[in-house]
Structure 1
Amino acid sequence: MTSHRQHDSSFAALGRLLRYARGYRRRIITATTCSIINKLFDIAPEILIGVAIDVVVNQEESFVASLGFETAQEQITVLAALTFFIWAGESLFEYLFQVLWRNLAQRLQSDLRQDAYEHAQRLDMSFFEATSSGQLVATMNDDVNQLERFLDGGANAMIQVAVTVVAVGAVFFVLSPLVALLAFTPIPLIIWGAFYFQRKAGPLYADVRQKVGDLSSRLANNLGGIATIKSFTAEKREAERLKQASEAYVEANRQAIRISSAFIPIIRMAILAGFLATFTVGGMMALEGSLNVGAYGVLVFLTQRLLWPLTGMAEVIDLFERAMASTRRILDLLAEPVHVHDQAGKALAQPVQGRVEFDNLHFRYGSSGAGVRDINLDVPAGNTLALVGATGSGKSTLVKLMLRFYDPEQGQIRIDGQPIREVSLKSLRDAIGLVSQDVYLFDGSIRDNLAYGNPQATDEQIIEAARTAEAWSFISNLPDGLDTAVGERGVRLSGGQRQRLSLARALLKDPPILVLDEATSAVDNETEAAIQRSLRRIGHNRTVIMIAHRLSTIVDADTIAVVADGSVVEQGSHSQLLEQDGAYAAQWRVQTGQA
């Protein structure tokens, strides 16, 4: 998953995130306001300490006395009451900003993941052929969680550091512009260090996120192919490959950590310089009488309050860089273009009769250049079309085009005279039932998988579909029947059982057009015979398009089209093609032992 945006700066990524989060603006403003008020309350006690020192030293001449509180006892009492309310306010707004930021983090990460997943579902099949599932899982899971961790604490920390600099700076310049200037001298160095770190760390954290995706891909591939690994006794080899991917992730993190760790010592020395300047120069001014002793106390305390939180900037920026690297990947996924556009709201005319026309179709895969050209086929409603030909000749491509997994470069496909580009994807795909050679069953029960295309189906309807597909005989013999768990990808069932369930699932959908993409190529003779019996029953009043290598399975088809190098080279019935004595007849003789 690549994009021209992947080299955006972290602040550009933050801008993209804020544009995405426009709907959360009120929550962000409320949380930010609570963070600001909390920090103002947090700074206030240091000012009160200085005021209290002023009361003790100057008593009736103190600042508080000028407000109408004459005795030192009254002044201390007022300061104590004010301190109580400030601490209570600080505690209240700390509770509020934590609740608001954490809830915002949870809501935003959930919505981002949902939006990313829903957008991914709309993307073309070419995207999934070019992108590993491990990278996608890492983006929707780990990257979204990384952003959540930043919003949980990092966002508030960045806001409060900015508030501290502004608020403390204002107090400093009111009390002593000279000391303020000295105290703020290290801040440009700290800001320069932060930006320098950001420029250095940004690409490193982008590499970290890439390595996370690679590691996820390796784990997903190995766990999905565990049977193959075991059969080739390749456990040690795959463990070594996983170790290499894991070590690459460790090394990417090590490079980022090396940069981030160097930031803290630089900041600490800058802080020390600012503190010493305030401590010494302010102290000298207090001794000379040009600076109030209480004001000097305020400056000393606030210098620490101003500069010390900046030591945490390294950790905050580290969290920020990780989050923005993740944000780029998430938003890049959301920015992936959809080429097959849905015509929502425009349905196929009902009831669908099932006539299918392929009119002058041209299509090429961008990656390989393979595809189809000059395809012209007309399948009357209720007829059976069989597509035969060598592997890679373009048969499955026609099915993918009919389902609009891709759109042709030229020509069109029509169902009942309606161009499929002009109807909604839901309406189109609801009219087609697909039984593929590569059967995918979801982790769950047999009932769940059979009812996948018709969730409202009753048990009676499920059983009837299973009987029609000749799957009920083995289902009824299972201890848990329809409640039997099939395992991930149906691993607890045999290939023939999975194929029969796939056929039953398509039948329960009751589509007017049934597509069988080499549905019997990987099953035994008994299962093939069972499926053939099923097809003879279900083919009535239904359009069937079959892709097959075994010619014995399609001899009863109304039309057989022989596809070679992306073009239809022969078509007709079984007997007509034998009479033509072309490619089909030659293949028939080979498969029947006559050659």
Structure 2
Amino acid sequence: MTHAAAPPLPDAGPEPGILRAGLRNIRDMIRIEPKRFSIAVVGAMVNTAMQMSVAFIIGWVVSQVAVPAFENGEVGTGSVAIGVGALLGMSILRFSSMCARRIGSGTQMFQVQAHWRRQVTRRYLALPVSWHQKHPTGTLLSNANADVEAATRPLAPLPFACGTLFMLVLSMVVFFTIDWAIALVALGMFPALFTLNAVFASKMAPRAKRAQELRAAVSADGHESFDGALVVKAMGREAAETERFAGTAGELRDAMIGVGRLRAAFEPLIQGLPEIGTLLALLVGLTRYEAGAIGLGELVTVSFMFSILAFPIRAIGWVLGDLPTSVVGRRRVDGVLAATGDMAYGDRELDGTGPARLEFDSVAYSYADGTEALTDVSFTVEPGTTVALVGATGSGKSTLAHLAARLTDPTRGAVRFDGVDLRELTHRSLAATCALVQQIPFVFDDTVRANLALDREGIDDTRIWQALAAAGADKFVGDLEAGLDTELGERGTSLSGGQRQRLTLARALAGQPRLLVLDDATSAVDPKVESEILAGLKDSADAAGVLVVAYRRATIALADEVVFLEGGRITARGTHAELLETHRPYAELVTAYERAEAEREFDEETAA
């Protein structure tokens, strides 16, 4: 089974160098949570200062306590007490500052992740249906999860690295104060370490990008296979889907192995360089001590400082090592945030009550590739009337339904409610006026009550039961073990197709819309039940206008007017009886629909 590749997400800007892009990403994350970052950095700097102070205290203890004890055989009790007290105080401060650093950096990272996930989700919801149709759900899930996590990876070690930089500056001052030769060792080690990390980051960038893309591909393949589990099993495609997923997973494995190999080659060098610098500093220090340039206490202080620098310096390596992955993740997140195609809403509210008037005025619609789906379509759904859209597959019926609910906008012309262009209405007014029920019903993994109410104001149990009755769903919901509190499972898998359709119809009716658009929304319902439902909607006292995409003859016959579409154009209008008499293409299509429906019912009865 082959799958068309989704178009790549647009890049949010030029491709700067990894280091510059990584630092820009870090800057942006700090701006999101400056307070928590400040707490973490202050904690890291205090911790660093305490570590360096320990080096001085140990050097002082050696020169003022240990050496006199060996030389004179006497131990200064006061000096020992001072040393122990100082070390104890430093330990308490180190513990407190370490807690501040870790809590600050952890909460900052999780807050930034939550911030970007909210932004990505808002962007998804703002983008039109046409954009979502071009991007696999698995990839979008990866953008909101794996890519966000990748983008924020440097945040955890960042305060530690900032504290280390502070430590390096202080250390260089101390080294030059003690001895120039030891300071030169430090001056040679630190640039070498940064250069090594920069080379590592440049080589890691393409590998990290490939791995991140494959994570999204694995997520997309897995989501598609799991979401289409019924089709996969029904068509006997388990082995083929397993092989397809295994192929993508194998590519991800190879990419991750490549990342691991590069890390294996560089990380021993990155981790070993500070230790080599410590040994070299110790050798130089011993030489300078023997030459009388420094004292024993200074030698101990320098050696201890180099030893405590060896581990914190790795934090800088962790940040630099995470930069390529973070840059790739951030660019993929920015690709979503930079996606265009929003449909801006206006500021007008509809003042009327009761059924709304729907008007299509010279409407045309073209796809992104220029293919025209609708041409010069004009008709009206008068308040309280029912208009049926009839036509062969691809004639533009569903496109008109989407335009009526403003899931997309026309290329030319206008769609109006009560004389107001839909593009001028607020989102709230649009949603309150029109409800679209599609052929493929979507049910949330929640209770019946939650699925119908959707947290909309004013929808109580009384209104829910009224909507269920109007949709012919009150009986089966009443028979459920927990009634309105019944959990329906993911996509309502505990219900039949017809039950899901009636439930989604009830959801639309619960909002008391002034216009109802049904895109073959009762196709899975028994024809007799469907006729009863539509007749009930039409005859109710507060009947909304109904625009229905219809196939069944009994459904079409209920309409006040039929609009017949061919190739995106209206070629006939009138009542069902009039078109059967005067328009041969319409009569042939409806007869074909009726014959196909009769054959389907016969097959079902035979199978039973």
User: TM-score higher than 0.5 here?
Assistant: yes
**Paired positions, count:** 582
Aligned-partner Cα distance in 2 for 1:453–1:578:
45
Tell me whether 468-477 or 323-332 shows the greater mean CA deviation: 323-332
2:375–2:569 CA contact under 8 A, matched in 1? yes
Paired amino acid for 2:292:
G
Match of 1:125 in 2: 129
Residue 3 (str. 1) matches residue 15 (str. 2): no
Give the C-alpha shift of residue 311 in structure 1. Answer: 4.3
Residue 284 (str. 1) matches residue 291 (str. 2): no
Give the C-alpha shift of residue 163 in structure 1. Answer: 2.2
Match of 1:183 in 2: 186
Residue 500 (str. 1) matches residue 502 (str. 2): yes
Give the C-alpha shift of residue 253 in structure 1. Answer: 0.9
1:462-492 Cα deviation digits (max 9, x unpaired): 2222122221222223333333332211111
Of the three residues 92, 97, 122, the one matched with 1:93 is 97
Match of 2:140 in 1: 136
Aligned-partner Cα distance in 2 for 1:247–1:551:
52
Residue 22 (str. 1) matches residue 48 (str. 2): no
Aligned-partner Cα distance in 1 for 2:78–2:595:
114
Of the three residues 344, 356, 359, the one matched with 2:358 is 356
Match of 1:68 in 2: none
What stretches of structure 2 of length at least 5 have no aligned partner? 1-7, 70-74, 597-608
1:354-389 Cα deviation digits (max 9, x unpaired): 111112222212157242221222222222221111
1:357–1:415 CA contact under 8 A, matched in 2? yes
Describe the SS at the equivalent of 1:341.
coil
Of the three residues 99, 106, 121, the one matched with 1:102 is 106
Give the C-alpha shift of residue 592 in structure 1. Answer: 5.5
Match of 1:64 in 2: none
Describe the SS at the equivalent of 1:414.
strand
Describe the SS at the equivalent of 2:443.
coil
Counterparts of 1:253-292 in structure 2, within 5 Å, are: 253-292=256-295
Q: CA RMSD in A?
A: 2.7
Match of 1:67 in 2: none
Aligned-partner Cα distance in 2 for 1:413–1:352:
19
Give the C-alpha shift of residue 169 in structure 1. Answer: 1.4
Aligned-partner Cα distance in 2 for 1:117–1:145:
15
Counterparts of 1:293-304 in structure 2, within 5 Å, are: 293-304=296-307
Aligned-partner Cα distance in 1 for 2:487–2:81:
73
2:477–2:484 CA contact under 8 A, matched in 1? yes
Aligned-partner Cα distance in 1 for 2:595–2:326:
65
Of the three residues 413, 422, 428, the one matched with 2:415 is 413
Match of 1:557 in 2: 559
Give the C-alpha shift of residue 75 in structure 1. Answer: 4.5
Tell me whether 234-243 or 75-84 shows the greater mean CA deviation: 75-84
Describe the SS at the equivalent of 1:185.
helix
Match of 2:473 in 1: 471
Change (3 A) 1:361 1:18: farther
Paired amino acid for 1:117:
T
Counterparts of 1:241-390 in structure 2, within 5 Å, are: 241-311=244-314, 313-343=316-346, 345-351=347-353, 353-367=355-369, 369-390=371-392
Describe the SS at the equivalent of 1:362.
strand
Aligned-partner Cα distance in 2 for 1:440–1:191:
54
Tell me whether 237-246 or 315-324 shows the greater mean CA deviation: 315-324
Describe the SS at the equivalent of 1:523.
coil
2:531–2:554 CA contact under 8 A, matched in 1? no
Identical amino acids, percent of aligned pairs: 27
2:143–2:333 CA contact under 8 A, matched in 1? yes
Change (3 A) 1:592 1:33: closer
Aligned-partner Cα distance in 2 for 1:107–1:404:
35
Match of 2:228 in 1: 225
1:514-545 Cα deviation digits (max 9, x unpaired): 00101233333343333333333348642111
Paired amino acid for 2:169:
V
Aligned-partner Cα distance in 1 for 2:122–2:55:
51
1:13–1:328 CA contact under 8 A, matched in 2? no
Change (3 A) 1:567 1:192: same
2:161–2:312 CA contact under 8 A, matched in 1? no
Change (3 A) 1:591 1:108: closer
2:552–2:594 CA contact under 8 A, matched in 1? no
Residue 36 (str. 1) matches residue 45 (str. 2): yes
Aligned-partner Cα distance in 1 for 2:30–2:371:
40
Describe the SS at the equivalent of 1:238.
helix
Match of 1:66 in 2: none
1:84-103 Cα deviation digits (max 9, x unpaired): 22222111111112222222
Tell me whether 519-528 or 561-570 shows the greater mean CA deviation: 519-528
1:440–1:490 CA contact under 8 A, matched in 2? yes
Give the C-alpha shift of residue 434 in structure 1. Answer: 1.5
Residue 45 (str. 1) matches residue 45 (str. 2): no
Describe the SS at the equivalent of 1:407.
coil
Describe the SS at the equivalent of 2:548.
strand
Aligned-partner Cα distance in 2 for 1:15–1:539:
62
Give the C-alpha shift of residue 58 in structure 1. Answer: 7.8
Match of 1:164 in 2: 167
Tell me whether 389-398 or 79-88 shows the greater mean CA deviation: 79-88
TM-score normalised by length of structure 2 = 0.88
Tell me whether 529-538 or 123-132 shows the greater mean CA deviation: 529-538
Aligned-partner Cα distance in 2 for 1:518–1:539:
24
